[in-house]
Structure 1
Amino acid sequence: MKDFWSYDKDDILKKLDTSESGLSSKEADDRMARYGKNVFKETKSGSNVMIFLSQFKSPITMILIFAAVLSIFMKDYSDGMIILIIIMISSFLSYLHESKANDAVKRLLSSVSVTSSVLRDGAFKEIDNGNLTIGDIIRVKTGDMIPADCLLMEGNSISTDESSLTGETFPVEKVTTTIPANTNLSKRKNSLWMGTHVMSGSGKAIIVNLAKDSEFGKITSSLSQKDADTDFEKGIKDFGNLILHVTTLLIGLI
């Protein structure tokens, strides 16, 4: 749900078709079937060996490897070894960069707590975070991790640590007033964000966005994606392909 911080309590309850007494177990199960579980989509990452080998797929790299092998075959060992060393160093640095991105995703996902106090069937229960759904009302207190993006309904001097999202180290005091839709993330003081935790106070909040649609989820998704090639990198690849085709043609003619 977009711009949920611009809604007041009554509007958000109506929008999400729920009430202050929370959802029933049956309604929660129906919503989980409709929206999915409150978990991140598991992405399979390749083994370290495959990640390392993928660094050699560039046309320029393949040409350099061929040149190094040819130099060694022609007994020009110094040139061949220098080329191979440069290729290995470059590939190793690229491998480290990609591995660190994968590790960062795992650390972010492991920082989310396991259970939350949720209002179901008129009573608060400890429920696995994966079984939370849109419209659930949760109770949070000092030390709790926020399990999904929520709108604060009631607050008692509640403040949260949002450094994982904004980089701001100071606690953010939360209020229940509505916030304009175009407000920056760091100033949406009526919202609780997945992956942050409560520094002090307590409160009740309604879940609006699940893991995959949360701000926390956007960060993990961006870390999982490979950086887009720059214009320079695209130009190098195109140039490498051109050289590869010309070299192949000349070898065939010779």
Structure 2
Amino acid sequence: MSLSVKEDAYWSRDARQLLAEPGSSEQGLSTELAGERLSAARQRSLRSEPDRQALRLFAHQFRSPLVLILLFGALVSLVVHDWTDAAIILAILLGSALLGFSQEYRASAALAALQRRLALTVPVLRDGQLVTLPADGVVPGDVIHLSAGNLIPADGVILEARDFLVTEASLTGESFPVEKRPGIVSPQAPLGQRTNCAYLGSSVRSGTARMLVVRTGRDTAFGAIAERLAARAPETEFARGVPGDPGRASYLRWRSASPTWG
């Protein structure tokens, strides 16, 4: 079974089995094997989609049928020279669209800011040699070295640790650092109790460790949050009748992005 399969409770398995499955070892991947995996890993990266551009986001505010009807009404008012009604309708539509755009643009900007945090380098074992690579060059099966101050570039299991404390507040809400060490954890353990794993989006507070990369990009716990932030929740019949309501958009986005750990 591939290590990138989300149903695989890798935190409950022996590290030696995990090292054997992807063709990795204590000395890391070979350059050739890593190159083969890199293209597939980049297809699942956390980069922004083109449709998140500002103009597209603004144009999206006018897709509602009710908005199109009101626009048609405004055009009719202009044709018959009813300037007052046309101005009122257009002002309401523009204000509503701007408010909706503001909410979605801020959410997209927040997601982009999270992604920019991942623009880091990491020491990786390749062909038995420790080399420094961009974080987006890490693939499942890599063995990486982590130390105090590092941002963790992927999800994985700890192979070796020394006084290794990790801050996971962005994932679990726990403000205090958590000690990570090698071992096996129950398959039912929630994310916050997987003391043998470290996750993308967390940071190293102190100590050093070696970690086997298991999941990257969208397959990580952090990636699941990013996908829920980017996804649009299905609109109800009521929602379709309220164009550009920023409060509704914010609530639906919050509900769709709220993680359930376990």
TM-score range (shorter-chain normalised) is 0.7 to 0.9
Aligned equivalent of 2:181:
175
Q: How is 1:72-221 mapped onto 2 (pairs within 5 angstroms)?
A: 73-74=79-80, 76-221=82-227
Task: Describe the SS at the equivalent of 2:95.
Answer: helix
**Deviation by residue 1:99-129 (Cα, 9 ceiling, x = unmatched):** 1121122101100142111122222221222
> Aligned partners of 1:108 and 1:63: how far apart in 2?
38
Aligned equivalent of 2:255:
none
C-alpha change, 1:191 and 1:65, in structure 2 (3 Å) is same
- In the TM superposition, residue 142 of structure 1 has moved relative to its aligned partner by 0.3
Task: Describe the SS at the equivalent of 1:20.
Answer: coil
Larger radius of gyration: 1
Say yes or no: does 1:44 pair with 2:50.
Answer: yes
> Aligned partners of 1:193 and 1:35: how far apart in 2?
16
TM-score, normalised by the number of residues in structure 2: 0.80
Query: Runs ≥4 in structure 1, deviation > 6 angstroms?
Result: none
> Aligned partners of 1:57 and 1:37: how far apart in 2?
29
**Deviation by residue 1:28-56 (Cα, 9 ceiling, x = unmatched):** 22333565578435521354233223212
Q: How is 1:59-78 mapped onto 2 (pairs within 5 angstroms)?
A: 59-71=65-77, 73-74=79-80, 76-78=82-84
Task: Describe the SS at the equivalent of 2:163.
Answer: strand
TM-score, normalised by the number of residues in structure 1: 0.82
The range that moved more, 214-223 or 202-211, is: 214-223
Unaligned 5+ runs, structure 2: 243-262
> Aligned partners of 1:138 and 1:130: how far apart in 2?
13
> Aligned partners of 2:32 and 2:161: how far apart in 1?
28
The range that moved more, 1-10 or 62-71, is: 62-71
Unaligned 5+ runs, structure 1: 238-254
Task: Describe the SS at the equivalent of 2:188.
Answer: coil
Contact in 2 for aligned 1:38/1:133 (Cα 8 Å): no
C-alpha change, 1:218 and 1:73, in structure 2 (3 Å) is same
Contact in 1 for aligned 2:159/2:211 (Cα 8 Å): yes
Amino acid at match of 1:65: L
C-alpha change, 1:96 and 1:34, in structure 2 (3 Å) is closer
C-alpha change, 1:197 and 1:38, in structure 2 (3 Å) is farther
Percent identity between matched residues is 31
Quote the RMSD (CA, aligned, Å). 2.4
Amino acid at match of 1:11: Q
How many residues were matched structurally? Answer: 236
Task: Describe the SS at the equivalent of 1:65.
Answer: helix
C-alpha change, 1:198 and 1:113, in structure 2 (3 Å) is farther
Say yes or no: does 1:24 pair with 2:30.
Answer: yes
